[in-house]
Amino acid sequence: MSRGHLVKEDIRTSRLLKQISKIAKSPVLEASAMPPQVYHSEDFFKLEKEQLFARDWICVGREDNTRAPGDFLTWKLGDQPIFAIRGEDSTLRAFSNVCLHRMMPLLEGTGNSKTIVCPYHAWTYGNDGSLRNAPLIEKKVQAHLKRKRLPRIRLEIWKGWIYVTLNKDAKSVASQLEKLEPVVSPYQMENYVSVVHRDYTWQTNWKLLVENFMEGYHLPVVHNKTVGRWFPSKKTKFPRQRCNSFTYQTFIKDETALYGGAHKKNKKLRGIQRHTSIMPTIFPSHMYVLAPDHLWYLTLNPINLGEVKIRFGLSLAPEVNQSLKNNSSFVSDMDDFFEKVNAEDKKIVEALFESTSSLLAAPGPLSWLEREIHDFIVYLSKRLNRRTFEGSNQ
C-alpha cells in the first residue's frame, strides 16, 4: 500500500472520529445516527479491533456450557485467537490458541478435549496450557521445551458469564459492572440454566447488529409477529446516569406474553418486577435480555468488516427448568420462537450493511427509544480516540 494511500486512510478515519465525537457530545434528543462510512471503512475496523476487541473485556459465553474438565470454546480478541478450557482441577482458564512450534491454530469451535494436539505436527498440550510432548525434537531442546506453556489470557466470571481480555491493566469485570450489579442481582442470573447455545455467521458489520439489538424502536415493526407483540414502548426506561462500560433499558412485558413473566415458584421477584425484563449491552459486543423466566443473549466476534460470528444462547430460570419434566417440547418451542426473532433481525442487519454503502446514504435523527445507541456512540468516541483511551484503564 502506498504512503499516499495510508495518509488518505488516516485522514478519513480521523474525520470519522471527529464526526462521532460531535454526535457523542450532542444532547441525546438532538443526536443523529452514525455516518455510514463507519460500517465500511477497513481502517476504522482495524482501529476497532485494536482499541476495543483487543483491550476491553469480551464475553465468550456462559460458564455452565463448559462444566466438564476438557470442555473448551474458542474466540478471537482482535486478531488474537484464544481458547478457554476447563482444567482437571475444574478451573476455567484461557490461553493463546496458537501453537508454540510453527504457530498453527490449535483448537476450533467448541467441544471437549482432555489434551490439545496441534493438527500440524502433533505437539501436545495439557488443559493447563503446559507443553507435554514435542515429537522428534532434539533432546537438548526438549529439556528446554518442558518448561513452556501457552501464553495465559485473563479470564473472569461474572454472574455466569465468561469474560476474557488481552488488557493486563483493565479493571476487573466486577468493578466495571458495579453499577449494573444491583439492577440485575434480584434475578440471580448466575443460577440460570443454559438450554440452547450455538454460533452463526451473518453478513453484516458488527456495529449494525449491536445497535439493532439495543433499541426497542424497531420491535413493534420488525417483530410484530414475535416479541414486538408484547412490547409496550411507553414503558421502556433507561438509567439516569451514563456508564463507561455498559448501558441498559428495562421494559415491562404485557401479561399475555408467552415468555417473560415469573414462574409461580419464583419467590425472588415481587410486584411489577415479575414482568420486568432488563436488557443490558456490555460494550463493545455483549447483549442480553434478562427476564424473570429466561435469559437470551448474543455475543459478537467480528470476522471482518462485513462478517460477524454470533454466539447465541438461551437459559432458563432454575424453577422454570425444574418444571420442565412434564413439558419436553418447551425448550424446542422456545428455541423455534427465538430463531424466528433472530431471522427477523438478520434480514434487517444484512440489508443495512448493503444500504449503508450506497452513495446517498445519510444518517437521520434518533428517537428517544434509541437512547442506548447514543450511549454506544459515546463509548466508541471515547475508546477509539487513542489519547482518551490511554488516559483510561477501564
Interacting residues with Fe ion (CB under 5 A): 345
Of 213, 108, 265, nearest in space to 118 by CA: 108
d(CA 308, CA 13): 21
Pattern of binders to ligand FES over 300-339, x per CB under 6 A? ----------------------------------------
54 binds, among ligand FES, Fe ion, none (CB under 5 to 8 A by kind): none
| Complex with ligand FES: residue 147 or 267, whichever CB lies closer | 147
225 binds, among Fe ion, ligand FES, none (CB under 5 to 8 A by kind): none
Of 296, 339, 340, 344, nearest in space to 316 by CA: 296
Do the Cβ atoms of 317 and 293 come closer than 8 Å? Answer: yes
Cell numbers given for 277: 425484563
Q: 137-144, long-range: CB within 8 Å, 24+ apart, which pairs?
A: none
Which helix (H) or strand (E) segment is 76 a member of?
strand 71-77
What is the smallest separation between the CB atom of 106 and ligand FES, expressed in angstroms? 7
| Complex with Fe ion: residue 345 or 375, whichever CB lies closer | 345
| Complex with ligand FES: residue 138 or 178, whichever CB lies closer | 138
376 binds, among Fe ion, ligand FES, none (CB under 5 to 8 A by kind): none
155 binds, among Fe ion, ligand FES, none (CB under 5 to 8 A by kind): none
Do the Cβ atoms of 234 and 248 come closer than 8 Å? Answer: no
What is the smallest separation between the CB atom of 218 and Fe ion, expressed in angstroms? 6
Do the Cβ atoms of 296 and 213 come closer than 8 Å? Answer: no
Pattern of binders to ligand FES over 98-137, x per CB under 6 A? -x-xx-x-------------x-xx-x--------------
Pseudo-torsion of CA 132, 138, 139, 142, nearest 10°? -30
Residues in contact with ligand FES by CB under 6 A are: 99, 101-102, 104, 118, 120-121, 123
